[in-house]
Structure 1
C-alpha cells in the first residue's frame, strides 16, 4: 500500500511538472494561439442575404479567395470561408449568405497589397455573386 502511494505521488508530481513546463514553453515560444491571434487584423467580407441575390460558393472557394490571398502574400496568416445557414433568431431571414475572412499581421501592408489590385478583385465579383459586400476591418482582441 505504501509503495502504491509513493508511485501515485511520483506520477502526480511528474505530471504537474510536465504541465508547468509545457505552459512555460508556450509562453516563451509564443505558440499560444490566443496570444498569437490577439495581435492580428481581421478583414471580414460579408455578403448580405436578400431575395434574388445569388452566390456561387464553389467559385468563391476555389478561385476568388485564393486569388485575393495571393495578393496578400506573407502578411496573410490564414483565411476562412463561411456559408450562412440560418439566423440566430428562429424564423428570421438569413442575415448573410457568406462571409470571407482574412487574418493579417499588418493593416498597412494589407492596404498596400489590396489597393493596386482593387479593380481586379471587384472585376471578379460577377463571376460568383450579384451582392455588394459589407467589409469590416477589426482588431482581434481575444
Structure 2
C-alpha cells in the first residue's frame, strides 16, 4: 500500500509542479503588465457623442490609427481603439463615440513626431468623422 502511495505521488508530483509554475507565470505576467505600463505617457483622443455626429470605425481602425502610429516609430509602445457603447449611468447619452489611445515612452518624442505631421493627421479626420476630438495627455501611474 505504501508503495502505491509513493508511486502515485511520484507520478503526480510533476503535474503539481507544472501547474504551480504555470500559475506563477500567469500571475507574473499580470503583475508585469502593470509594472511595464507604469510611467508611460498615454495620449487619449476622445470623440464626444452629439446628435448628428458620425464616426467610421472601420476607417479609423484600418487607416487613421495605423497612419498616426507610423509617425510615432519606436517611441510607440502600443495603441488601443475603443468603440463607445453606452454611458455608465442608465438612461444617459453616450459620452464618447470612440477613443483612440497611444502609449508612448516619451512625451517630447511624441510631440516631435506629431508636430511635422499635424496637418496630415487633421486633414484625415474628414475621412472618418465630423467630430472635433478632445485630447488628454496623462502619465500611467499604475
TM normalised by structure 1 equals 0.82
1:81 aligns with 2:91: no
Counterpart CA distance in 1 for 2:56 and 2:47 is 12
Task: Tell me how far 1:64 sits from its aligned partner.
Answer: 0.6
Counterpart CA distance in 2 for 1:4 and 1:68 is 64
1:120 aligns with 2:117: no
Write out the 4+ residue segments of structure 1 that deviate beyond 4 Å after TM superposition. Answer: 1-10
Cα 1:11–1:112 change in 2 (3 A) is same
Task: Tell me how far 1:15 sits from its aligned partner.
Answer: 3.0
What count of residue pairs does the alignment treat as equivalent?
136
Q: Secondary structure at the match of 1:141?
A: coil
Aligned position for 2:140: 140
Structure 1 vs Structure 2 CA RMSD: 2.7
Task: Tell me how far 1:4 sits from its aligned partner.
Answer: 6.8
Task: Tell me how far 1:2 sits from its aligned partner.
Answer: 5.0
Higher alpha-carbon deviation: 123-132 or 32-41:
32-41
Q: Secondary structure at the match of 1:32?
A: helix
Written as runs of structure 1 = structure 2, the 5 A alignment for 1:1-142 is 2=2, 8=9, 11=13, 15=17, 19=21, 32-142=32-142
Structure 2 gaps of 5+ residues are: none
